[in-house]
Structure 1
């Protein structure tokens, strides 16, 4: 895994080599092993490399033999060996054994159509010397990030926004519309980011920047739910298992050891079990436990590690770690977060790296593809309840979904109606499954400052999102609608970014996701709904596939949401972190929030024994926004020459 950065200068840049090296230094954590640059008066482009495949000769940027196409590449194309054989038949020759060279030759052969052939997770740039044209592309689900900015006729791009901010005269300001999106959807909606004039290339898209024709963006892949109702469960099991085994086999390709995350849940246990079945040699597994017992799954992690005979490593996440890691985590997310879940993932990836492991396989994607989340079950129960809205029994089903929310366990019918009854009867809405979640989250915006509220002008961003997807998903089943939204908004915008790529790459670790092989995604999208969510039994097909290969205790245990402490960790800490960060002077200075509203929130939370999820998310979102503003707006400074000299590892 790597990081890329570059720019097409249309206005004068005083020292382009220094600027590019500064951009690469900012993201050296993505590639601490090597650095390479391509410099001309028409393009400056570079790469920092985390060496995983072809350690000896995979340096970047590299070109085709004729020197026409140059590539800087972040990611892995797992089927590169198969693609290489096809290219050799067509007459291509190669000077390395790395997948990077395969990608640039695929572009040489097929142009933008090459993306249809790539099985992987990637973001890359290819420069065409003849056309004076830059090609940028991102993988189907957005596993790897890619950002750009087009200001004062200079086009600048990079794997992370902090890299773009090293380019002279790039504007640094919070995007208020993006901030409103975060405090509704948990993430910005591509191409928006949290910063003004900085954009994200959407997943499944490519962009072309031509010095004469400017920037055009094109979709090459989209998630589609087209049911194959002729499938039997036995046929589906066999097809899924075959795809899953091949996905794992491809993702085990590396010239360095590959490990696995092991949470003790169904997804990571299934992945680890199949790795051990196919590659019975020693396997390193990694897990994180919690000092706070409500979040801890250590007993299940140890049981699975013993059952599968892995070389297991674990670390405990302490409540104080939230504050200790706050600045590092937000520096890497580059976006406010409403949950503390990224913090343990950051600590876990550090444990991986401390054990000299660069690559780890994880179970992300199974919940989205196979109907594992409570938001899917919640929508089904609300549909069921809506048919008899005065029922006193039907809403009680919702209590079973959230045993970890103490305020719900003693709730009666009226309380449940208040909590879950938002737009209960609007079942025809294409975004029905997420209306409740987004309404609850958007309440955090009540803490915005008066000036910010005026700027936002009361625009209904949920309605705007609904309008953008209604034609695409209106004929989907309720489950497919919910899956589409969860996969294209939450998973790509938050799970694979703030909780995934950013936390792993912050410690120079590459995550790989067998459930997110595009063949598995497309297969799962074709499944009948009851193969995924069978009644309220989530991930039914996966359970059928693994029922004889994983411990029964894992197979039958209720799904436990991945959570981490917030209020307990922040408000009980005695070092003044919350009070200092949310001091009235700081709130006023940044201008995002209302200082009186924030003070009232903190007072209420310190007096309330059972703190609501909304208040927990509000606290985390407000703190992370204040710290993000401080890091990227108020205190951000360009790197000094000495820092650049020390930071960049040259070929």
Structure 2
């Protein structure tokens, strides 16, 4: 993974080298090992390189043999050797051994259809000198980020793109304002949903899509879309047959991501089933001794160290652990927000920021992780909630059906079973079986309460924006005929996976220290296989990821296979108020809040004083989300206004 940026002036006016250099330099954390720029009339491409494949000849921007096509590329194409052989057989001549050059020749040969042949994670910009057109493209699920905007220029407009918005702000013509609708999405879905970003005028290229700019037009297209089969066409086959296919696909996906690298690759080991499976596959299906890294918490409520130690003992990995305290999270939080460039409703990205720094300091710059398993194979509580809510909705008058709620959260100290009346009320709200958002409506309604803290002027503006409807209108045709679990998966992948887990908690925390993440569970073959699986094999009763456990029962200890599902979490309010970091008082001072124009100063003061009285302990789920959202948004606004 690297950092890419560029400017296309549709009038043909020269691109200012100073601006392009500043944009490229702002991305050096993503690619600290090499820096390159290329300019000709009306176009400039920039690249900050993290060298993973073809260390000697893979510098960018790169051209084809006659310089008719140029590329700035961020990411990896894991099947580049196979694609290279195919293209050479068709007469293409290569001057490097990089995966980047494969894209140049593949695009020459197949155009945008080549993207569907690529197995990888990427964001890229391709410039065609003869046609004077710029094409931007992003991978299927949004592992690699790509933002773009346009500003008026003399006789035309400047199209600017970059891996991160901070690079776009290096052009003085790009406004530095928060978008109220972007805030509304953030305070509903926990993230904005592409193409919207949290900044006015800046668009987030949706996963699986490309966009082409010429001197007089703009055209968008899709090369991939997430779809599920209708319930009437769900595949047959036994659990054993599907488990065998899943195992074969995941082993190959993991092997590919571990071996296609010219530098050593490590693995994250959380103690959950996902990273345990990928690490066990690496250990059993490659010849390399694996280096593993784990994150632990000083607060035992969030710590999974015992399970991590079991896997380390089982596999005999060369293992290192980083233990994070509440104070660590509070102190580093402004840096985390500066990298995420989004409001955050949880502090969970902060420990990942610290872990990636630890990994880089240990001499590694590539890690294999387990992200994507929950989304693809039915691992989240929200999916089990969806089935529970659907179960209750089919007989809403039943007094017995709500009893199933007691079995949802065995890992949580404050289990809903301790307040059964509240739990029944919460899980029984909005029970319309025809609602495409039946699974997610309670989460969205809970998070959207944060908007009550907004400044009255902003509340009036966002009140006109029907956030959930905007998302639901994008669901593919035929989604009404999907299984309820499939609809829930589509919503989760479209919102939280792309915009939060792979962005704020993933790419941005990894690349803050020049570390590339690789995700076997997001291999396109595995995504397609998982989408076609019968839902009953994803969640069997309330047993999440049933088929994954079945497929890898011989490689993972029984205690980990059968442990209660515990999602990755970090202390929220407790990280800020058990011992207040120096920045907190300044950012929440009533005059500063008032001047920000984002939040109601009195509402913020009431929330802050409540957190101070309790020292951040024993706060409700909503208060934890709200205070984290307020602090991160105030930090983001200040950082954006001050960037130069």
Alpha-carbon offset, residue 48 of structure 1? 0.8
Q: What pairs with 1:41-52 in structure 2 (closer than 5 Å)?
A: 41-52=41-52
Report the counterpart of residue 202 of structure 1 in structure 2.
Answer: 206
Alpha-carbon offset, residue 472 of structure 1? 4.3
Q: Is the 2:72–2:126 Cα contact (8 Å) retained in structure 1?
A: yes
CA distance change for structure 1 residues 623 and 13 in 2, over 3 Å: closer, same or farther? farther
**After the TM superposition, which of the residue ranges 457-466 and 527-536 deviates more from structure 2?**
457-466
Q: In 2, Cα distance between the equivalents of 1:576 and 1:60?
A: 41
Q: Deviations over 1:595-621 (max 9, x none)?
A: 111122223334466311111000000
Report the counterpart of residue 298 of structure 2 in structure 1.
Answer: 291
Q: In 2, Cα distance between the equivalents of 1:497 and 1:473?
A: 26
**After the TM superposition, which of the residue ranges 413-422 and 337-346 deviates more from structure 2?**
413-422
Q: In 1, Cα distance between the equivalents of 2:177 and 2:416?
A: 43
Q: Is the 1:42–1:132 Cα contact (8 Å) retained in structure 2?
A: no
Q: Report the TM-score when normalising by structure 1.
A: 0.95
Alpha-carbon offset, residue 406 of structure 1? 4.6
Q: Is the 1:337–1:621 Cα contact (8 Å) retained in structure 2?
A: yes
Match 2:514 to one of 501, 508, 511: 508
Helix, strand or coil: the match of 2:121? Answer: strand
Report the counterpart of residue 261 of structure 2 in structure 1.
Answer: 254
Report the counterpart of residue 181 of structure 2 in structure 1.
Answer: 177
Q: In 1, Cα distance between the equivalents of 2:255 and 2:240?
A: 23
CA distance change for structure 1 residues 575 and 48 in 2, over 3 Å: closer, same or farther? closer
Report the counterpart of residue 540 of structure 2 in structure 1.
Answer: 534
Q: Deviations over 1:280-339 (max 9, x none)?
A: 431100011001100001111111011111000111011111221111111110101101
Q: Is the 2:193–2:494 Cα contact (8 Å) retained in structure 1?
A: no
Q: Quote the RMSD (CA, aligned, Å).
A: 1.6
Report the counterpart of residue 327 of structure 2 in structure 1.
Answer: 320
Q: What pairs with 1:358-377 in structure 2 (closer than 5 Å)?
A: 358-377=365-384
- What 5-or-longer segments of structure 1 have no aligned partner? 638-651
CA distance change for structure 1 residues 68 and 405 in 2, over 3 Å: closer, same or farther? same
Q: Deviations over 1:4-45 (max 9, x none)?
A: 100012468787111111001001011111111111122100
Helix, strand or coil: the match of 1:468? Answer: coil
Report the counterpart of residue 279 of structure 1 in structure 2.
Answer: 286
Q: Deviations over 1:323-363 (max 9, x none)?
A: 21111111110101101110111111111101110110000
Q: Deviations over 1:54-91 (max 9, x none)?
A: 10111111111111101110000000000010011101
Q: Is the 2:360–2:515 Cα contact (8 Å) retained in structure 1?
A: yes
Q: In 2, Cα distance between the equivalents of 1:523 and 1:511?
A: 22
Alpha-carbon offset, residue 522 of structure 1? 0.5
Match 2:310 to one of 272, 289, 303: 303
Q: In 1, Cα distance between the equivalents of 2:363 and 2:618?
A: 42
Alpha-carbon offset, residue 583 of structure 1? 1.3
Q: In 2, Cα distance between the equivalents of 1:574 and 1:447?
A: 22
Alpha-carbon offset, residue 572 of structure 1? 1.4
Report the counterpart of residue 57 of structure 1 in structure 2.
Answer: 57
CA distance change for structure 1 residues 465 and 575 in 2, over 3 Å: closer, same or farther? closer
Q: What pairs with 1:65-464 in structure 2 (closer than 5 Å)?
A: 65-152=65-152, 153-213=157-217, 215-226=218-229, 228-252=234-258, 253-403=260-410, 405-409=412-416, 411-423=418-430, 425-464=431-470
Hey, which bits of structure 1, 4+ residues long, moved more than 6 A?
12-15
- What 5-or-longer segments of structure 2 have no aligned partner? none
Match 1:616 to one of 624, 638, 641: 624
Helix, strand or coil: the match of 1:29? Answer: coil
Q: Is the 1:7–1:154 Cα contact (8 Å) retained in structure 2?
A: yes
Q: In 2, Cα distance between the equivalents of 1:73 and 1:149?
A: 18
**After the TM superposition, which of the residue ranges 161-170 and 70-79 deviates more from structure 2?**
161-170
Q: In 2, Cα distance between the equivalents of 1:98 and 1:470?
A: 36
Q: Report the TM-score when normalising by structure 2.
A: 0.96
Report the counterpart of residue 580 of structure 1 in structure 2.
Answer: 586
**After the TM superposition, which of the residue ranges 216-225 and 469-478 deviates more from structure 2?**
469-478
Q: In 1, Cα distance between the equivalents of 2:416 and 2:462?
A: 37
Q: Deviations over 1:390-421 (max 9, x none)?
A: 54443333233234555545634422233323
Q: Is the 1:143–1:497 Cα contact (8 Å) retained in structure 2?
A: yes
Match 1:549 to one of 545, 555, 566: 555
